[in-house]
Amino acid sequence: MTDNSPVDVKLRALLADVLGLGEARAAALTADSGLFGELPEFDSMAVATVLTEMEDRLGILIDDDEIDGEIFETYGNLLAFSQRKVTG
Amino acid sequence: MTEHQLRIAPARTPRATVLIVPPLFEEANRTRRTLVIAMRALAEDGFAALLPDLPGQNESLVPLVDVDLARWRDAVAEVAAGIEGPVIVASVRGGALVDDQPKAAGWWRLAPVGGSSLLRTLMRARVSADREAGIDSTIEILHERARTAPLLLAGNMLSPAMIEQLAAAEARPVEPLRSIGMGADGIAGTPLWLRAEPGEDAAMAAAIAADIAAWSKTCGIN
């Protein structure tokens, strides 16, 4: 699921920016990597920042109702959600 | 009430004063240290650099709920009016929403952002916190409530006027303006204002100072 697609690349860069992961940690994220609840930096403000940046950088609109806990459980889930939104 | 200002200046008469209009809300904290490092570099280059507290922000005694963008715009203009000699206004992110009123030799904006984008993130943080606490919440509900009463958004108590102004605010046209982003075509570094945990970036600070200095030359500052 992590596939070096444009969405994958943008999403890693975005998480690196918001969570201060650094390039190495961002590049090491796999589909199973835990996000919310696993990375201490990933609090509710970070979630909000990630959503707004996803809209800006991926050119999508995200509705509140589309967001559930599962999306932020793993990197793979977040990427799959982003791919779905981009291909619309 | 007079707000604190951080001023870093060279020993001799400055070439100009760079008035830094900081990002808004939490983004100000995340960028402050890097901006202050940039101010030191500017002072070494012969500029005075001035970073004022906006009313209701940083060390200000004014309650945030009592201010709005119109008041911040006035506050920035008032600070500028008190500066002797030429002024370059350098604003970062949401600072660009309130930087247009002073008389200045030039403007420099780093990654200017619309108020609606800032507001959306704040609203989302509130929705997310509400839901974790088991409270039914949506951005629509919050917008509705904000029409008549102040709203606590990610620790910021914002008045109905502030929320209404933020929702519509865009950086206003100014001249001459250099607007610059981050990355290959802009300032090298990472957008520290997004960072969940504050960081600092000395190289980015040096790039900011150098870019402002170069732009001020274009604006007639020697």
Q: A2 falls in which pLDDT band (50, 70, 90)?
A: low
- Per DSSP, the three-state class of A33 is coil
Q: Which of A37-41, A50-54, B15-19 has the lowest mean pLDDT?
A: A37-41
- Mean pLDDT of the A54-78 span: 92
Name which of A51, A64, A68 to mutate to probe chain B: the one with the most chain B Cβ atoms within 10 A of its Cβ.
A64
User: The pTM is what?
Assistant: 0.95
pLDDT attached to residue A68: 82
Query: Using beta carbons and an 8 Å cutoff, which residues of A are at the interface with B?
Result: 16-20, 41-49, 51-53, 56, 64-65
CB atoms within 10 A of CB B105: 17
Name which of A15, A45, A57, A66 to mutate to probe chain B: the one with the most chain B Cβ atoms within 10 A of its Cβ.
A45
pLDDT attached to residue B1: 59
CATH of B5-113+171-219, one of 3.90.870.30, 3.10.129.10, 3.30.530.20, 3.40.50.1820: 3.40.50.1820
- Residues B137 and A48 sit within 8 Å (Cβ to Cβ): no
pLDDT attached to residue A67: 85
- Mean pLDDT of the A55-74 span: 91
Strand partners, B25: none
Closest chain A C-alpha to B202 CA, distance in angstroms: 15
pLDDT attached to residue B203: 96
H helices, E strands: number in chain A: 4, 0
- In this prediction the ipTM stands at 0.89
In chain B, what residues touch A19 (CB-CB under 8 Å)?
195-196
pLDDT attached to residue A23: 86
CB atoms within 10 A of CB B25: 23
User: How many CA atoms within 13 Å lie on the side-chain side of B118?
Assistant: 31
CB under 8 Å to A64, separation ≥6 — which residues? B124, B127, B138, B139, B140
Is A18 close to B196, i.e. CB distance below 8 A?
yes
- Bridging pattern class, strands B17-21 and B87-92: parallel
Is A45 close to B26, i.e. CB distance below 8 A?
yes
pLDDT attached to residue B152: 97
Q: Give the model confidence (pLDDT) of B111-132 as tens digits.
A: 999 999 999 999 999 998 888 8
**What is the Cα–Cα distance from B178 to B169, expressed in whole angstroms?**
19
pLDDT < 70 positions in chain B: 1
Report the candidate in B96, B146, B101 with the shortest Cα–Cα distance to residue B120. B146
pLDDT attached to residue B128: 86
Q: Give the model confidence (pLDDT) of A69-87 as tens digits.
A: 899 999 999 999 999 999 9
Q: Give the model confidence (pLDDT) of B167-182 as tens digits.
A: 999 999 999 999 999 9
Q: A1 falls in which pLDDT band (50, 70, 90)?
A: low
